[in-house]
Amino acid sequence: MHFDELIGHLGQHTVDGLSKGAIYALIALGYTLVYGVLRLINFAHSEVFMVGTFAVLILWNQLGVENNPPIGQAILFLVLGLLVAAVASGGTALALERIAYRPLRRKNAPPLIFLITAIGLSLVFVELFGQVLPKLLGGVLPAAFGRPRQIVGMPTIIEQKTLFTIGNTAITNIQLIVLIAAVAMMALLDWFINRTRYGRGVRAVAQNPETAALMGVNQERVIMLIFVLGGIMAGAAALLWSMRFGFTQNSIGFVLGLKAFTAAVLGGIGNLRGALLGGLFLGIVEVYGATLFASNWEDVIAFVVLIVVLMFRPTGLLGESLGRARA
C-alpha cells in the first residue's frame, strides 16, 4: 500500500478523480431520470454513451480532423462533436424507448421483462458496433475500425497543458474543461427539471402518474423527454471522454455504464443532484484506491465502496426521489 504516494500528491489525485467522476455523473443522469419516472433500470443506457463516442469519431474522421488543430478550429470541432453526439445518443435513447420499452408498457409487462430487454438491447448494440458496422464502414473510417472489437483512437483536439499549479497540484486545461462542462450541463438539467413547465410535468409523473394524467400531463411525452434528456447527457459525456481519453470501442460502455449506475445508486438513484455527488465521489475513490493498491484494483474498489455505503444507507447519500424534488 502506497500511503506516502497518496498523501504526498493528494491534491493531484483529487483533481484527477473529480475530472473522471464528472463523466460518470453525466452518464448516471440517464439512469436517474429513467428510474425516477418509470422505476426502470435501463442497462442499455451504457450503449447510448457508446453510440455517442462513435458519432464523434465518425464526425471528426469525415471532417479530416488532425492532431492539435488551431484553437478556432478546435472549438468548432468540439461544438460540432457535442451537437452530433447529443443528437446520436438522444436519438438512440428515444428509439430504444419507442421500439422496445413502449410496447412492453402497453402490455403491462412485469419489471423483470424490462430488465431482460434492457440487457438484451445492450448486447445487441455491442455486437452491432463490434461486428456489423466495422464491415460496413471500415473503408471510410480509421483502419482499426475495420477490425472487429478493436480499440479505435481519436485525434487530439486540444493538447493537454498545465494551466496553473497549486502547491504540488497541477491543473490541466483538459481537466478544467471536463469539470466545468460537466457541472454546467448538470446545472442546466437541474434547472430544467426544477424550474420549467416541462420539468414540473416530469416531477408530477415521477411522484404520481395517475394524478398527473388526471391533471392533463401527457405521460408519453414525459417519458420520451426523459429518455432524450438522458441521451443528451450521455452524448455530452461521450464528447468529454473522447477529448480526455481519446479512444473508443464497441464494449466501452459496459464497465463505464456499471460505474455510472453505481454513481447513481451511491447518490440516491432517482436524485439528479445525487448522481452528481455519487459520480464525483466514485471518481475520487477510484483514483485514491488505484494509488493505494494498483490501477487494476480500481474497478473492485468502486463496487466495494458501493456495497459499504448501501449497507449503512440503502437509499444512497441523498436518497430523495425525483418526484419529491422541490423547485
- Helix (H) / strand (E) element for 248: namely strand 247-248
**pLDDT above 90 as % of the chain:** 59
pLDDT for res 314: 79
Instruction: Report whether 301 contacts 289 (CB < 8 A).
Output: yes
Instruction: Report whether 224 contacts 217 (CB < 8 A).
Output: no
Of 229, 272, 314, give the one whose Cα is nearest residue 36: 272
Model confidence at 31: pLDDT above 70: yes
Of 102, 22, 89, give the one whose Cα is nearest residue 231: 89
Q: How far apart are CA 205 and CA 32, in angstroms?
A: 14
For residue 223, the one-letter residue type is I
* Residues 299-308, mean pLDDT to the nearest whole number: 83
Model confidence at 301: pLDDT above 90: no
Tell me whether residue 219 is exposed, middle or buried, using C-beta atoms within 10 angstroms of its C-beta: 0 to 12, 13 to 18, 19 or more: middle
Instruction: Encode pLDDT of 101-159 as tens digits.
Output: 999 999 999 989 999 999 999 999 998 888 777 776 665 555 555 555 678 889 999 98
Angle at 273 between CA 270 and CA 277, to 5 degrees: 110
* Residues 35-58, mean pLDDT to the nearest whole number: 93
Structure-model confidence comparison of residues 303 and 146, the more confident one: 303
- Sequence length of the chain is 327
Model confidence at 77: pLDDT above 70: yes
Sorted by where each begins, the domain ranges of the chain are 3-139+165-312
User: In this structure, what is the dihedral angle of CA atoms 175, 238, 79, 54, given to the nearest 10 degrees?
Assistant: 140
Instruction: Report whether 228 contacts 90 (CB < 8 A).
Output: yes
* Residues 213-223, mean pLDDT to the nearest whole number: 91
Q: How far apart are CA 49 and CA 232, in angstroms?
A: 9
Instruction: Encode pLDDT of 17-28 as tens digits.
Output: 999 999 999 999
Model confidence at 91: pLDDT above 70: yes
pLDDT for res 298: 80
Q: How far apart are CA 289 and CA 54, in angstroms?
A: 30
Q: Does domain 3-139+165-312 have CATH number 1.10.3470?
A: yes
Instruction: Encode pLDDT of 147-198 as tens digits.
Output: 556 788 899 999 899 988 988 899 999 999 999 999 999 999 999 999 999 9
* DSSP bridge partners of 10: none
pLDDT for res 97: 95
pLDDT band for position 309 (cuts 50, 70, 90) = confident
pLDDT for res 326: 41
pLDDT for res 327: 36
For residue 192, the one-letter residue type is F
* Residues 283-289, mean pLDDT to the nearest whole number: 91
